[in-house]
Amino acid sequence: MEKIKIAVLPGDGIGPEVTWQAIKVLDAIAGRFNHYFEYCFADVGAIAIDRTGDPLPDLTLETCMAADAVLFGAIGDPKYDNDPNARVRPEQGLLKLRKSLQLYANIRPVKTYPTLLHLSPLKEDKVAGADFIILRELTGGIYFGEKTRQPDNSKATDLCSYEKHEIERIARLAFDYAAGRRKKVTLVDKANVLETSRLWRDVTKNIAKDYPDIELEMMFVDNAAMQLIQYPKQFDVILTENMFGDILSDEASVIAGSMGLLPSASIGVHTSLFEPIHGSFPQATGKDIANPNAAILSAAMLLESLGMNDEAHLIRLAVQYLLEKGIGTPELSPAIVYGCSRIGDAIAHMVSEPEELYLHEGRIKDGVSTII
Ligand code: IPM
Ligand code: MN
């Protein structure tokens, strides 16, 4: 049996508890499909600062480099939030990890669940059927450009810079994803103002020539922010740079009704990383109320990236089935409230004994595949 090494970085806040549920489910998958997953735990974020003084210790990076995939929980702690000037911050761990693993593409699928439409702040008929992915560039742009500050604090600058090859590789990925979906790419930029955006347009248009059956649409980011809530169903694959993607993906996350449902994948040159998008949610830590579905669905994306499509499909089926039964964590105001741990148990159980799930498969509407 081939051993698959998974680096597990539970991180801060609710990170450990939701990650633990994902591991329960992965173990159930291993049992059912005869896989051998080896978990290598490592610290990142505030917990790593507390233990070593470094938000991304070398050992953690080495563990990730040596693994087949990284399962990531969350980072962040309120004790750092009020002091953005702190010399070491948990976020630096995540940014360094992205840069070191060269995770240049962050993939955030956004889809709605029929039983949860009422939770969206948008009108049900606007969001029903919305199903798109945001492809955010993750290792360039203003996040990583040169930063300056005058010693007398009279001026500061952040440089936004992109190289052609950085745009090319993620643009190709966007067209590849669109090819397996509804064949439309929307490039979101600010080409009416920014030179980097104009380069994004030129480069992406060039790549588009290799994909004649895929529609390429351009949209300014301010308009996109509006269109996302006015008519989200128009989108299939949204391609955008780092900062715009950060903002738009948080905006898009409310469409599904709960952040606790949305997984993400970051892929690039080295080991791919999978994480729920919700962050560390410190107020909920240790209360067994956090929604583990996003972490569990991130594990499904992880399996898919390793070619385990049936396994990923089964996890999604189980998540969907539970939601359709009206079972969920408190923030979903479900008919039947389960804690974080019990959701993990239930999904792991269904994955171990999926006969009933498969029986109902026709009724449980699974979403479009999110990984190619
Ligand atoms: C995200 C987060 C990070 C980002 C922070 C924690 C640095 O908001 O993953 O979207 O801005 O990229
Ligand atoms: Mn963000």
Model pLDDT for residues 308-323, shown as the tens digit of each residue: 999 999 999 999 999 9
Answer whether residue 193 shows pLDDT above 90: yes
Task: With beta carbons less than 8 A apart as the criterion, state whether 236 and 184 touch.
Answer: yes
For residue 76, give the ligand nearest its CA: 1
Atom of ligand 1 nearest to the CA of 249: 10
Mean pLDDT, rounded, for 127-145: 96
Rounded CA-CA distance 187/179 in Å is 15
pLDDT band at 355 (very low <50, low <70, confident <90, very high): confident
Answer whether residue 371 shows pLDDT above 50: no
Computed over every residue of the chain, the mean pLDDT equals: 94
Q: Is 94 near ligand 1, meaning CB less than 6 Å away?
A: yes
Answer whether residue 336 shows pLDDT above 60: yes
Q: Which residues contact 349 (CB under 8 A, 6 or more apart)?
A: 28
Atom of ligand 1 nearest to the CA of 98: 12
pLDDT digits (tens, 9 = 90+) for 248-294: 999 998 898 888 999 999 999 999 999 999 999 999 999 999 999 99
Answer whether residue 363 shows pLDDT above 80: no
Superfamily of domain covering 1-102+269-372: Isopropylmalate Dehydrogenase (3.40.718.10)
Rounded CA-CA distance 215/239 in Å is 13
CA–centroid distance, 247 to ligand 2, in Å, is: 6
Nearest CA to ligand 1 atom 6: 91
Mean pLDDT, rounded, for 94-110: 96
CA–centroid distance, 311 to ligand 1, in Å, is: 29
Rounded CA-CA distance 121/106 in Å is 25
Name the percent of the chain lying above pLDDT 70: 97
The pair of structure tokens assigned to 344 is: 């993990």
Domains 1-102+269-372 and 106-260 share a fold: yes
Answer whether residue 372 shows pLDDT above 50: no
141 by Cβ neighbours in 10 Å (0-12 / 13-18 / 19+) ranks as: buried
Rg (CA), the chain: 20
How far the first Cα of the chain sits from its last, in Å, is: 24
Give the type of residue at 300.
A
The pair of structure tokens assigned to 261 is: 């449902």
**CATH 3.30.360.10: does it fit domain 106-260?**
no
Atom of ligand 1 nearest to the CA of 94: 7
pLDDT band at 368 (very low <50, low <70, confident <90, very high): very low
The pair of structure tokens assigned to 43 is: 């610290």
Rounded CA-CA distance 231/35 in Å is 42
CA–centroid distance, 246 to ligand 1, in Å, is: 7
237-240 and 184-189 as β-strands: parallel, antiparallel, unpaired?
A: parallel
The pair of structure tokens assigned to 346 is: 């239930």
Nearest CA to ligand 1 atom 10: 246
Q: How much is the pLDDT for 81?
A: 78
Q: How much is the pLDDT for 364?
A: 66
Rounded CA-CA distance 99/56 in Å is 12
Ligand 1 pocket test: pick from 91, 142, 158, 250 the residue with the most ligand atoms within 8 Å of its Cβ: 91
Q: Which residues are catalytic?
A: 143, 190, 222, 246, 250
Rounded CA-CA distance 322/177 in Å is 28
CA–centroid distance, 250 to ligand 2, in Å, is: 6
* Residue in the structure block whose two tokens are 């969206």: 120
Q: Is 9 near ligand 1, meaning CB less than 6 Å away?
A: no
Q: Is 91 near ligand 1, meaning CB less than 6 Å away?
A: yes
Answer whether residue 328 shows pLDDT above 60: yes
Q: How much is the pLDDT for 356?
A: 82
Please provide residue 209's backbone torsions phi and psi, each rounded to the nearest 5 degrees. Answer: -60, -30
Rounded CA-CA distance 173/163 in Å is 16
pLDDT band at 369 (very low <50, low <70, confident <90, very high): very low
Answer whether residue 351 shows pLDDT above 60: yes
Bridge partners of 273, per DSSP, are 70, 266
**Where are the domains positioned within the chain?**
1-102+269-372, 106-260
The helix/strand count (H/E) of the chain reads as 14, 14
Q: How much is the pLDDT for 26?
A: 98
Q: Is 77 near ligand 1, meaning CB less than 6 Å away?
A: no
Q: How much is the pLDDT for 361?
A: 78
CA–centroid distance, 245 to ligand 1, in Å, is: 10
The pair of structure tokens assigned to 337 is: 């409230």
